[in-house]
Each structure stands twice: as structure tokens, then as C-alpha cells.
Amino acid sequence: MAKLTDMDSWTDRLGHTKLRTFTDGEGNFWLEQNPSKASKWAKLAREGHSIAWQMASAGGSYTGLMLIDGEVYDTHDAASKFLKDRK
């Protein structure tokens, strides 16, 4: 059974990218970070961190929350913890 905090349990995939997705009990849609992108978050994913972004719904807007290595963060806290020493 899929569990929000365990991205390895997510079985749903998105289109041709095959990124993992999860819909939580409140209807929020979580989308795995695409590691092939050029962002700092993609680089962190390439380094082995599990990262997903929360959307209000499939195709909806970003809510400001992220899941990183099984813990939910707002973008500010996530950047402070994971990106503070990066260039």
C-alpha cells in the first residue's frame, strides 16, 4: 500500500516522464522531482534524495510544500536545510 512518506511505495506514474505520483487523503497531488532538470532540487535528487512537490490537485497549482526524504517541509525550511551551503 502506498504511503506518502515512503516514495518507494508510490506506484502511480505520470505520462512519458514516468515520474512517481501520489494522491493523499485530502486530494493533494504529489509529484516526484524530475532529476534530469537543471534546478538545485533536481541536483539534490540526483544525489539520492527523494523529493516531491505537493500540488492542490492533479494539474493544480503548487501549494508550497515539499516532501524530502520522507518529511514534509515548506519551501523556505527545505531550502534552509538542504540548499544553504550550495552554489
Contacts 24+ apart (CB under 8 A), 62-66: 63/28, 66/41
Predicted local confidence at residue 87, as pLDDT? 60
Task: Convert the pLDDT of each residue in 1-26 to its tens digit.
Answer: 999 999 999 999 999 999 999 999 99
What is the domain partition of the chain in residue ranges? Answer: 22-82
pLDDT in tens, 52-63: 999 999 999 999
Computed over every residue of the chain, the mean pLDDT equals 95
